[in-house]
């Protein structure tokens, strides 16, 4: 028997001819100045810099801490891709806070955003003031950070804690959620998307052959709905995310180590594109 095929060998025949790949530590993050509160009551911004021929190094850009009584602990945080990336949203217990990283000051606060612990946050990539959150109350909520008195939309499709929520990077009406009920739900939140009436085409741009019929013009705009529910997992789904290369591809990861990759249904894909 060839050596590479003997029991206990962890190399395939192709591995022996391939160079070994090792992980390299780029930069050490020194958190001694913050003590044990780094992961609980304080969030820290680090600035990374590197010049040609020198290893990268980090510098403290700013930090903010929670003040108050009780068990104050950050559970999630998310950069906003808007406002020149100067805003960060954080979650602690049932509260969501927005921060301006230039002054490290609080710019909005959503108290009791969820009935129980807030698990995850995500910003709409196309609408700068829209934020999604999910939590242990089994709900997914969508907020306009200019008016946080109440959510603009609430989903209650899951039956247990919702651990993860993600907007599609290109088509913001597509929203993924993963939950401890072992399900991944793909929703079409078109009413609060950047194209609430679908892809709009001016009548002046239509040729005679493409002229819309009266009944087509009077159709109601698309409605929010659950597109599909995926039940390939047998344990709690802790993370969902969209592919950065293919906007129609997404992955989910569950507690038992199962990674599942799915695609947006073809019919919906072409409905959005056409």
What's the whole-number average pLDDT of the chain?
Answer: 80
Kindly state the DSSP code that residue 157 receives in the 8-state scheme: -
Mean per-residue pLDDT for 132-159?
96
Residue 104 pLDDT level (bands cut at 50, 70, 90): confident
Mean per-residue pLDDT for 114-141?
96
Cα separations (Å) of 262 from 170, 220, 224, 254? 17, 30, 21, 14
> Is 49 contained in some domain?
no
> Is 117 contained in some domain?
yes
Residue 257 clears pLDDT 60, i.e. is over it: yes
Environment class of residue 232 by beta-carbon count within 10 Å: exposed (0-12), middle (13-18) or buried (19+)? middle
CATH code of residue 142: 2.130.10.10
Mean per-residue pLDDT for 33-44?
51
Residue 66 clears pLDDT 80, i.e. is over it: no
| Domains contained in the chain, number | 1
Mean per-residue pLDDT for 17-40?
55
Which pLDDT score is estimated for 154? 97
> Is 4 contained in some domain?
no
> Is 64 contained in some domain?
no
CB distance 161 to 138 below 8 Å: yes
Q: Between 149 and 35, where is the model more confident?
A: 149
Residue 69 clears pLDDT 90, i.e. is over it: no
Q: How far is CA 52 from the centre of its chain?
A: 33
* Long-range contact pairs involving 99-106 (C-beta distance under 8 Å, separation at least 24): 99/43, 99/64, 101/45, 101/61, 101/62, 104/45, 104/62, 104/63, 104/64, 106/64
Residue 58 clears pLDDT 90, i.e. is over it: no
Residue with tokens 């019929």: 213
Here the tokens at position 7 are 């029991």
Q: Between 32 and 260, where is the model more confident?
A: 260
Length of the chain: 274
Which pLDDT score is estimated for 196? 72
Q: Which domain holds residue 246?
A: 77-273
Residue 201 clears pLDDT 60, i.e. is over it: no
Which pLDDT score is estimated for 28? 61
Which pLDDT score is estimated for 260? 97
The CA distance from 147 to 151, in Å, is: 9
Helix (H) or strand (E) holding 269: helix 266-273
């Amino acid at each position: 028997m060839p050596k590479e095929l003997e029991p206990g060998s962890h190399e395939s025949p192709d591995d022996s001819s391939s160079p070994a790949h090792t992980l390299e530590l780029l930069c050490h993050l020194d958190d001694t100045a913050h003590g044990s509160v780094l992961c609980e009551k304080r969030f820290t911004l680090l600035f990374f810099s590197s010049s040609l021929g020198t290893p990268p190094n980090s510098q403290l850009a700013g930090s903010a801490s929670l003040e108050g009584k009780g068990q104050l602990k950050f559970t999630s945080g998310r950069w906003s891709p808007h406002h020149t990336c100067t805003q960060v949203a954080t979650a602690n217990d049932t509260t969501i806070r927005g921060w301006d990283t230039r002054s490290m000051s609080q710019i909005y606060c959503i108290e009791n955003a969820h009935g129980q612990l807030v698990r995850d946050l995500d910003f709409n990539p196309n609408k700068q003031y829209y934020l999604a959150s999910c939590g242990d109350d089994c709900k997914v909520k969508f907020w306009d950070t200019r008016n946080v008195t109440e959510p603009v939309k609430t989903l209650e499709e899951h039956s247990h804690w919702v651990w993860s929520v993600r907007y599609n990077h290109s088509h913001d009406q597509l929203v993924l959620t993963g939950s401890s009920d072992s399900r991944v739900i793909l929703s079409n939140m078109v009413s609060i998307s950047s194209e609430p009436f679908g892809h709009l085409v001016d009548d002046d741009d239509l040729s005679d052959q493409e002229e819309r019929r009266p009944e087509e013009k009077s159709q109601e705009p698309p409605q929010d709905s659950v597109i599909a529910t995926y039940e390939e997992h047998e344990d709690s789904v802790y993370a969902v995310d969209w592919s950065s290369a293919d906007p129609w591809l997404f992955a989910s990861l569950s507690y038992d180590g199962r990674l599942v990759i799915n695609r947006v249904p073809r019919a919906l894909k072409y409905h959005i594109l056409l």
